[in-house]
Structure 1
Amino acid sequence: MPHIRPATKPDLPMVLDLAHALAAYHGDAATLSLAALERDSLGPAPWVTLLVAEGTTGLHGYAALCPQMQLQFGARGMDLHHLFVCDTARGKGVGRALVQAALEHARRQGCVYVTVGTDLQNRRAQAFYRRAGFDQIAPDPRFRVKLA
């Protein structure tokens, strides 16, 4: 079983590689830099919480959590924005351990819910999250405006 812990500065180059691998898996061209990853995970105003799965041969995966809120209910939440496990570590409980650690982190932050999204075609991920205790919610229309 891997050791799950918060990411530290020496972990960031490997997390960056894994984030780029996840983007490539989804057909995206990642533009995340090491400086931005450090700023957003370890800087003075962290934007994301990174948890890493450490094994005997290095990092085997990571989870990235972003805070959310349902203000009208005073309900804190977290979005499991990224979950990635290296090919060589899949099927060995790493993803399950990362999800469990993410849920524990959210509880410690006073959260009452955790969300996660998957590609509509990724049935394997959907089944994984159902096994982890997540309920599927009806997709709601979301909108975005780019600021820069």
Structure 2
Amino acid sequence: MEIRPLTDRDSVALLTLVQGLAGHHGDQSAATSDTLTRDLSDGWTWGFGAGDPLIGYVLMMRHARVHDGLRGVDLHHVFVTPSARRQGIARALLTRAEDDARSKGCSYVVIGAHEGNSVARDAYVGLGYEWRAPIFWRFFKRL
């Protein structure tokens, strides 16, 4: 399966997958093809897609541990359509994302999962990710 960089031309197809991920978690997506085009074209996010048409994707954002002098990547989204799961596609997407992070001089990646999503937790631990319980609170303020 070819894993290739996503471009703003993938926004319409990517939107369907983003909505699929939101639905998987019982969330509503407010993303549009225009917001995805914006974020992919200006580098706010970047990532990789699997298949033509797209059946999976990973989206990445910059991350930092400034107090440690470290640069990293937040693997913000990872999703594979239900019919294409358990075929190694997510693993291939994550591997490509990790390789990309290394090429950018990053020394770590972070990824999150909804609390209670033991399938994701077990998959990430199986791929060598260290499971860390939250050590600080996060707050949100709409601007």
Do residues 78 (structure 1) and 77 (structure 2) align? no
Counterpart-to-counterpart distance in 2, 1:60 and 1:17? 10
Do residues 13 (structure 1) and 12 (structure 2) align? yes
Give how far 1:72 is off: 1.9
Do residues 117 (structure 1) and 112 (structure 2) align? yes
Aligned position for 2:27: 28
Unaligned runs of 5+ in 2: none
Provide the TM-score with structure 1 as the length reference.
0.91
Paired residue for 2:95, among 91, 97, 100?
100
Aligned position for 1:38: 37
Q: Deviations over 1:65-93 (max 9, x none)?
A: 11111112220001111000011110111
State the secondary structure of the residue aligned to 1:81.
Answer: strand
Counterpart-to-counterpart distance in 2, 1:132 and 1:121? 18
Q: Which moved more, 1:100-109 or 1:7-16?
A: 7-16
Counterpart-to-counterpart distance in 1, 2:75 and 2:4? 16
Aligned position for 1:50: 47
Counterpart-to-counterpart distance in 1, 2:125 and 2:140? 31
Give how far 1:137 is off: 1.3
Counterpart-to-counterpart distance in 1, 2:17 and 2:48? 13
Unaligned runs of 5+ in 1: none
Counterpart-to-counterpart distance in 1, 2:67 and 2:24? 37
Do residues 140 (structure 1) and 139 (structure 2) align? no
State the secondary structure of the residue aligned to 1:135.
Answer: coil
Amino acid at match of 1:13: V
Give how far 1:13 is off: 0.7
Give how far 1:119 is off: 1.3
CA contact (8 A) 2:4 2:49 kept: yes
State the secondary structure of the residue aligned to 2:63.
Answer: strand
Give how far 1:54 is off: 1.6
Query: RMSD between aligned alpha carbons?
Result: 1.2
Counterpart-to-counterpart distance in 2, 1:40 and 1:142? 27
